[in-house]
Every structure is written in structure tokens, then in C-alpha cells.
Amino acid sequence: RHNFSDFVKPASSKGKSIDDIHLTDEELGLYLDLAPFLNPSPYIVPEDMSLAKVYNLFRQLGLRHIFVVPRPSRVVGLITRKDLLLEEDGNTATTELQSTSVRSILSTSCKLSFSLLRRNAQN
């Protein structure tokens, strides 16, 4: 049986806090764009989710980290399988999927057959 402390590690293994780091004006002016390395759609869990469920997510999805968010959050839409059904017409459907954002699918209905999705995923 695990307890909470089994899943938590100290914030810093060296015992330093952010206040212990002093940067020069030149160092403060440096900039590094990390956007190419960031995941724009990270996995998230509500703060009241059980550790057992979080543990299963880590195991099933091979995660290394997951964001915890407050429970009361606003739903902006719902996408169903039916929303993803498009007529098969070659590569047009694939191109449309790649160039369509979730936000736009919430207001318009796209139809793409799952057989096409599976076939393209295998290629």
C-alpha cells in the first residue's frame, strides 16, 4: 500500500530555494524560446482525483509528469465520434483534420470515418 509521501519528491534535492539564486542584469536580459519543446496539450487531472487513478494514468500512458488543476473549470465544448465523421475522399479529409482546430469543430460539424483515420494512422 502506498501513501501520499511515496508520490512526492522534494522541490530541490540540493536544498536551495529560488531566493538563493542571484542573476546579473546581463543574465536577466537573456532569453531562450522553449516553445518548440513544450507540449501544447499536456495531460491534466483535477486536484481531487484519487492517487490510484493518477497512478493508472502514469502506467497506461507512460507519463513522466501530469498537471493538476482546480476542479471547478468551465467546459468549452464536447467532441463526439460523430463530429469526427467525414466522407472519405482521399487526402482531403486528412488535410482538413490537420488544419482544423478543436475550437472550430465545436461550432461546425466535421465528418470523417474512423476507417480513414485508422488507415492514415497506420501509414
- Are 39 and 67 within one domain? yes
Mean residue pLDDT across the chain: 71
Alpha-helix residue ranges (DSSP H) falling in 4-113: 25-28, 51-61, 92-99, 102-107
- Are 68 and 93 within one domain? no
- Are 69 and 88 within one domain? no
- Are 37 and 69 within one domain? yes
Which structural domain, as residue segments, surrounds residue 115? 84-122
Tell me whether strands 84-86 and 44-46 are parallel, antiparallel or unpaired.
unpaired
Q: How many domains does the chain have?
A: 2
pTM score: 0.41
- Are 67 and 88 within one domain? no
Q: Is a pLDDT exceeding 70 seen at residue 27?
A: yes
pLDDT tens for 59-95 read 999 988 888 888 776 766 666 677 666 655 555 555 5
Distance of CA 27 to the CA centre of its chain: 31
